[in-house]
Structure 1
Amino acid sequence: MSDHGRRIARNAAVVAGATLVSRILGFVRDIIVAFALGAGLFADAFFVAFRIPNLLRRLFGEGSLTMAFIPIYSRLMEEEGEEAAQAMARSAAAWLAVVLVGITLVVELLARPLTMAIAPGFLDNHEQFTVTVDLVRICFPYVVLICGVALCMGILNSRNHFLAPALAPVALNVSLIGAALFGYFAGYNVAYCMAYGVLIGGAAQWLLQQPFLGRTGFSWRGPWSWRNKGVARMGMLMLPTVFGAAVYQLNILLGTLLASFLPVGSVSYLYYADRLVQFPLGVFGIAISTAALPSLSRLAAKGEMAEYDEALSASLGLTLFISLPAAAGLIGLASPVIGLLFQRGAFTPEAVTATSNALVAYSVGLPFIALSRPLVAGFYALEDTRTPVKIAVLCLAANIGLGVLLMQFLAHVGLALAVSASSLLNFGLLYVLLCRKRGSSPLPVGAALRMLLLSALIGGGAFLSAGWRPWWVLLIPAWIGIYMFLSLVLGLKEARLFADMFRSRVRRKLAGRK
């Protein structure tokens, strides 16, 4: 594997490790919030109030802003030097501050009609509506802070630092946990404490980035301009990415809408199944695309397109190496995993079966969802943000059309299969168009077939062991070990890379103890 591939793998491992910590802490947060806040008037009010800045974060922050910023910043670094790139980043920060503070002031003034629009049912309960309006006003400035964090993430990733941005969500989780426990044990209103905890968490995430920015040589002090050409270019690239994020959110909304026409419980079956599929995607899929974008952007800016193709091929290979066995494992162990996690109380064996079927249908599309992320990063590195969005719109239509058709025969499982089918279409279109754009095929086909064969063997073994309660849980590390061993035997370079990284880390730890 090329040096670029090794760098992407190392950086992806850093992001994945930090994301895993954040996801586990997020699960702890959910448990503590359920304990302290419960499920009632104030809980509903907080979740609605926090949903607004969270939605804008997804539309304008971590995805769109970072994806548009990194290619421009990397190009300026290569073509005009360090000072020009830093001036562009400062200029972008100034524009972000003005625009987001302006939006925040408008929301503070119009919090009541905004709450009325997003939660009209709360109007029937004056206290609930009033509390929600208060919490919206408290939570919304989080948008300013988290978009600032997204800008810091773009700068640090462009400068080959990934740990601090990946750890940022940990600061928010810690803040919300602390706010919930403080409110509960001090006798204050937990919902209001958590709303202020959102702001504290946003500030903590931003402050966490600053020492690392300084260590990489970046400074907020220095020249900047309202008319910076790089910022203007970044704004033009952001428009399609924001639209693409909106399409993704619309996809989720319409899928839920279709499920609402099915028997009671269908929405929940899909929700719980999707949560499990999102775990490997969130930890590994996003990690690889996050690590790949800066490398691809730098290579494209330098005009080193052969190296760009190698780096993209390495990213796709790493994605397949992880996503294929993850999908096979989820398919093989769908029923016992769902049973272990959720079968208690009102979650019946029938619900386990229905959710497991949805998980299998979602898992079929997991590799295609994961592969699409580095391909999108490949387009963004070439400063082409329109093509992925056009494809996303087409796949949205395909998902809804297939969903309407398949739900007639397979109920909620049909909706999950529609997501997998549209994900395959998304991957196929992205891959074909990027191949045409580059004139080469970055997918390592031979390695992909070997990974598919090994994943099928592992998935089959996991399926056969599913009835061995509770031994199937203990066998999961064994299946992972067997997959790695057979991958090494078959000469997969991705396996050698992970093995070398593991050995290197062990050596460093042993050397440190001496």
Structure 2
Amino acid sequence: MALLRRASTVASLTLASRLLGFARDAGVAALFGTGVVADASVAGLSLAQLARRLLGEGALNAAVLPALTPVDGAARRQRAGAAVLIFAVTGLALASALAVFMPQVIAVLAPGFPDDGAREAGAVLAGRLTVLGVPLALTAGTLAALANAGGALARPAMAPAAGNVAVLALLGLLWLSGAHAMAMETALVWLSAGVMAGAVTQLVLIFFAVPTGTLALPSRAALRAALPMLAAAGPSLLAAGLPQLRFLIAAAAASGIPGGIAALFYATRLVELPLGLIGASAGAVLLPALAARGGDGEETGTQTGAQTGALGVEAALALSLPAALGLAVLAHPIVIVLFQRGAFDPAAAELTAQALALLALTLPLQAVEKVLAAIAFAAGFGRDVTRAALIGLPVGALTGFLAAGPLGLAGPALGVLAASAVSLAALAGTLIRRGLLRLPGTNRRRLIGLLAAGLLMAGAVGTARLPLEGMLGGGGLYAIAALAALVLAGMLAYGAGAVLFGGLSPAALKAALRKR
């Protein structure tokens, strides 16, 4: 229970960070819509943002903590200092190389930009201004691992949220300074300054979270002993980064569409908000449960690890399926209510909704994939997660680039959907063969019931939306009220359908509420 309380604290702070990150993105959308500045900034800032996301939530723990376990006292403090120094120097070397080759990096991330000199030049400028975010994120990630090892969990988890507050403050200054009248280069400098302010804020907060006496100047022996951390960091960072590569590949496929990268980014953020909650639940609740019951599926009490995993799959689908179908059916009014203001005009809303309607369907696939990844890691088969994700990447890339021409922005979104489906199928097949995942008849019947309830909800919301189109399309308070009513109706329809079709047991629901 103590573990779950600490995990819930981390999950709550992660949610706060995601919500603040969404507010940050909504602010950028209001300032620049899906125009040249938005496209250039999303492409140019992607490396720094990716580094912050991968390294800001404990991704280096698996590499740093085991290297500290065999030693104690002065040797431990020196090895901790060596870890910080090694990752900081590695990050600086990587940042230097990226700065030199930034035009080539942008050509890979956004191959459609060379036909548009302004977007390409802006992306290179933003990339070079924020490339220092990579070593800052690496250093912050190392310090977070040391803080966690010392029992400090809250402040490191709070750091990404504080970083987003710093970015929002810079966006406020940008708005007051007249962003709409700024030249592209000036606006990108401001946005880059916001990103770097967030990275520095995050680093400082984590530094002061490290317990006193944890760090010491490293000796040569400590540096040699800490070097294997670099190799150990590779697999965990690769496993954490591969799902993000799907969206980077989709952005590359969308780069030939004016406004495509920015619109895809905003749609992705809407999908990642519920996905982040499910991922936090999988890591904070499912992993401890699997560890307690035996991740290898051996019997430990009344339930096996495989059965616990099956319940995790059910929970992931129960949460993600209605969110996915709701986002897909209400994509356009959701984008209007959340984003359409300032420079984000109706054309930008239409482009973003086009991507969101398809990206939303990836939510159940990615949610179940996170649960299956938790099962695999708990059983010591993390390589299966990496292998499955790698299998899906070329499928997604081929689909996204081929479909971008005839389908527009829906093509890259379809590529993410294809990559997610292939990766999920590969990982599920591997776990079933290893005996780590079993779906008995009872579980399958509940899953079918949940799917039927989701389809009922989608039909009900789609039908109820028709007479409200005028209100939804106009924006403002009327659109917010109409959208809230549709969301509430969808929740009621899904709950009733889940009980009607056997996806949810009323007795189990009452028992869960009483226990809660």
How high is the TM-score relative to the length of structure 1? 0.70
Paired residue for 2:459? 460
Q: Which amino acid in 2 is paired with 1:441?
A: R
C-alpha deviation, 1:391, in angstroms: 1.8
Q: Which amino acid in 2 is paired with 1:73?
A: L
CA–CA distance in structure 1, aligned partners of residues 217 and 274 of structure 2: 41
Question: Is the CA contact (8 Å cut-off) linking 1:70 and 1:155 kept in structure 2?
Answer: no
Question: Is the CA contact (8 Å cut-off) linking 1:277 and 1:366 kept in structure 2?
Answer: yes
2:112 maps to 1:117: no
C-alpha deviation, 1:288, in angstroms: 2.5
CA 1:94–1:159 in 2, change beyond 3 Å: closer, same or farther?
same
Question: Is the CA contact (8 Å cut-off) linking 1:22 and 1:173 kept in structure 2?
Answer: yes
SS of 1:219 mapped into structure 2: coil
CA–CA distance in structure 2, aligned partners of residues 131 and 67 of structure 1: 27
Q: 2:250 aligns with which of 230, 239, 255?
A: 255
CA–CA distance in structure 1, aligned partners of residues 337 and 234 of structure 2: 43
Q: 1:321 aligns with which of 318, 321, 343?
A: 318
Paired residue for 1:73? 65
Paired residue for 2:478? none
2:140 maps to 1:142: no
Question: Is the CA contact (8 Å cut-off) linking 1:70 and 1:158 kept in structure 2?
Answer: no
Q: 1:179 aligns with which of 170, 178, 182?
A: 170
CA 1:296–1:61 in 2, change beyond 3 Å: closer, same or farther?
farther
2:491 maps to 1:480: yes
Paired residue for 2:477? none
2:24 maps to 1:26: yes
Q: Which amino acid in 1 is paired with 2:273?
A: F
Any unmatched runs of 5+ in structure 2? 108-112, 472-481
Q: 1:96 aligns with which of 80, 87, 95?
A: 87
Question: Is the CA contact (8 Å cut-off) linking 1:8 and 1:288 kept in structure 2?
Answer: no
CA–CA distance in structure 2, aligned partners of residues 495 and 57 of structure 1: 39
SS of 2:466 mapped into structure 1: coil
1:180-213 Cα shifts (integer Å, max 9, x gaps): 4457768996655554444432232133335655
Question: Is the CA contact (8 Å cut-off) linking 2:42 and 2:265 kept in structure 1?
Answer: no
Paired residue for 2:448? 449
CA–CA distance in structure 2, aligned partners of residues 88 and 174 of structure 1: 33
C-alpha deviation, 1:367, in angstroms: 0.3
Question: Is the CA contact (8 Å cut-off) linking 1:32 and 1:181 kept in structure 2?
Answer: no
CA 1:170–1:309 in 2, change beyond 3 Å: closer, same or farther?
same
Question: Is the CA contact (8 Å cut-off) linking 2:24 and 2:164 kept in structure 1?
Answer: yes
Select the structure with the greater relative contact order (CA < 8 A; seq sep ≥ 6). 1
Paired residue for 1:491? 505
CA 1:213–1:475 in 2, change beyond 3 Å: closer, same or farther?
farther
CA–CA distance in structure 1, aligned partners of residues 430 and 210 of structure 2: 36
SS of 1:467 mapped into structure 2: helix
SS of 1:477 mapped into structure 2: helix
Range that drifts further, 113-122 or 420-429: 113-122
Paired residue for 2:397? 400
- How many residues are paired up? 480
SS of 1:441 mapped into structure 2: coil
Q: Which amino acid in 1 is paired with 2:485?
A: L
Paired residue for 1:239? 234
Q: Which amino acid in 1 is paired with 2:395?
A: A
CA–CA distance in structure 1, aligned partners of residues 147 and 134 of structure 2: 20
Question: Is the CA contact (8 Å cut-off) linking 1:14 and 1:163 kept in structure 2?
Answer: no
Question: Is the CA contact (8 Å cut-off) linking 2:264 and 2:355 kept in structure 1?
Answer: yes
Question: Is the CA contact (8 Å cut-off) linking 2:162 and 2:202 kept in structure 1?
Answer: yes
2:333 maps to 1:333: no
What RMSD, in angstroms, separates the aligned Cα atoms of the two structures? Answer: 5.2
1:414-436 Cα shifts (integer Å, max 9, x gaps): 55344323322211211221233
Paired residue for 1:285? 278
1:24-53 Cα shifts (integer Å, max 9, x gaps): 432454257649xx9778x88866654443
Alignment of structure 1 residues 164-175 onto 2, 5 Å:
164-175=155-166
Paired residue for 2:15? 17
CA–CA distance in structure 1, aligned partners of residues 147 and 283 of structure 2: 12
How high is the TM-score relative to the length of structure 2? 0.70
Alignment of structure 1 residues 264-413 onto 2, 5 Å:
273-282=267-276, 284-291=277-284, 295=288, 306=300, 309=306, 312-313=309-310, 315-341=312-338, 352=350, 356=353, 358-403=355-400, 412-413=409-410
Q: Which amino acid in 1 is paired with 2:385?
A: P
CA 1:493–1:420 in 2, change beyond 3 Å: closer, same or farther?
farther
CA–CA distance in structure 2, aligned partners of residues 44 and 67 of structure 1: 28
Q: Which amino acid in 2 is paired with 1:70?
A: A
Q: Which amino acid in 1 is paired with 2:21?
A: R
SS of 2:505 mapped into structure 1: coil
Question: Is the CA contact (8 Å cut-off) linking 1:74 and 1:298 kept in structure 2?
Answer: no
Q: Which amino acid in 2 is paired with 1:279?
A: L
C-alpha deviation, 1:326, in angstroms: 0.6
Q: Which amino acid in 1 is paired with 2:320?
A: S
CA 1:149–1:449 in 2, change beyond 3 Å: closer, same or farther?
farther
CA 1:167–1:269 in 2, change beyond 3 Å: closer, same or farther?
same
Paired residue for 2:48? 53
CA 1:302–1:76 in 2, change beyond 3 Å: closer, same or farther?
farther
Question: Is the CA contact (8 Å cut-off) linking 1:391 and 1:426 kept in structure 2?
Answer: yes
Question: Is the CA contact (8 Å cut-off) linking 2:43 and 2:261 kept in structure 1?
Answer: no
Question: Is the CA contact (8 Å cut-off) linking 2:404 and 2:411 kept in structure 1?
Answer: yes
CA–CA distance in structure 1, aligned partners of residues 174 and 404 of structure 2: 45
1:202-255 Cα shifts (integer Å, max 9, x gaps): 2321333356554xx9934599933447x72x5444334545566556544543
CA 1:226–1:201 in 2, change beyond 3 Å: closer, same or farther?
same
Paired residue for 2:479? none
C-alpha deviation, 1:97, in angstroms: 2.5
CA 1:368–1:500 in 2, change beyond 3 Å: closer, same or farther?
farther
